[in-house]
Amino acid sequence: MTKIGFVGLGIMGRPVAGHLIDGGHELFLHSRSGVPKELLERGGRECSSPCEVARNAEAIITMLPDTPDVERVLFSDNGIAHGLSPGKLVMDMSTISPSETAKFAAAINKLGCDYVDAPVSGGDIGAQNATLTIMVGATEPVFNRIMPILELLGASITLIGPNSSGQICKLANQIIAALTIEAVGEGLLFASKAGADPARVRQALMGGFASSRVLEVHGKRMIERNFDPGFRVELHQKDLGLALSTARALGISLPNTAAVQELFNSCIAHNGARLDSAAVVQVLEKLANHKIQD
């Protein structure tokens, strides 16, 4: 049994922490909105601050919305860094800036502790089913050290390279996912406007070269008008913002990523920030003056 700290118990963090408890680990938990009762009833221990979490745990995991949140939890007056002692490990499973991740890792390393960036893909369903795809930035010895923990959470676990490599991989994932979601929306909207049954079109495409997990999951959401969040528009928009700012620093152009980012911006402007990212189809529908299945 390992003493594990966990900060950030939202849609993703709550089931991930639960799997760690089920795996026999002792969990020290903190969340600004309070620790869910279900985790306490299963043996989790609530801490008053991230610093207290770090004092009690051998390995500390963060799963937070954005770069400033991770920075605050790590380095504020009551942050994780103030509760660390040499030999401990910090693993961030958020999706944040690769360049800031490198800085965070360097600061934690100076305290004699290891740092891992391990963002995930798979959404709330993957978190609930422990089938996440986990992209890891760490040294190989540290990766081997944390593998027993990661195996409780994911079905696909890959060491990408040194610190910040995990975040780079995750942003590549978010680019591909966003553009594919938008493409599925365009395809189904086109089929519906042209008079074909979008549900049958999706069924047919699932057996062909256009088949994808996005067509399966998000296409179904679009047809059924189910936009309850697995992964919120505002978070996907944030991730594309990180990708575009990183691309600018690299001196490369990502034109289609920028276009989809504008569609996410429009979705947020129309009160869709907290809907699932499949809701980008609603912006396309406004442009076409047609709803799928009208």
The answer to whether 238 is a known catalytic residue is no
How many separate domains does the chain show? Answer: 2
Instruction: pLDDT tens for the chain, 294 residues: list them.
Output: 689 999 999 989 999 999 999 999 999 999 998 999 999 999 999 999 999 999 999 999 999 999 999 999 999 999 999 999 999 999 999 999 999 999 999 999 999 999 999 999 988 889 999 999 999 999 999 999 999 999 999 999 999 999 999 999 999 999 999 999 999 999 999 999 999 999 999 999 999 999 999 999 999 999 999 999 888 999 999 999 999 999 999 999 999 999 999 999 999 999 999 999 999 999 999 999 999 986
Q: Kindly state whether residue 178 falls inside one of the protein's structural domains.
A: yes
SS3 content of the chain, % helix, strand, coil (to 5): 55, 15, 30
Work out the end-to-end distance of the chain between its first and last CA atoms, rounded to an integer number of angstroms. 55
Q: From the CB of residue 129, how many other CB atoms can be counted at a distance below 10 Å?
A: 12
How many whole angstroms separate alpha carbon 197 and alpha carbon 17? 42
**Is residue 133 domain-shared with residue 275, that is, in the same domain?**
no
**Whole domain around residue 253: which residue ranges?**
168-288
- The catalytic position among 3, 37, 88, 170 is 170
**Is residue 78 domain-shared with residue 105, that is, in the same domain?**
yes
Instruction: Say which CATH number the domain at 26 has.
Output: 3.40.50.720
**Is residue 15 domain-shared with residue 149, that is, in the same domain?**
yes
Cβ–Cβ under 8 Å, residues 40 and 95: no
Sign of the CA dihedral 77, 80, 85, 87? negative
Which of 162, 190, 209 delimits the end of a domain? 162
Q: Kindly state whether residue 107 falls inside one of the protein's structural domains.
A: yes
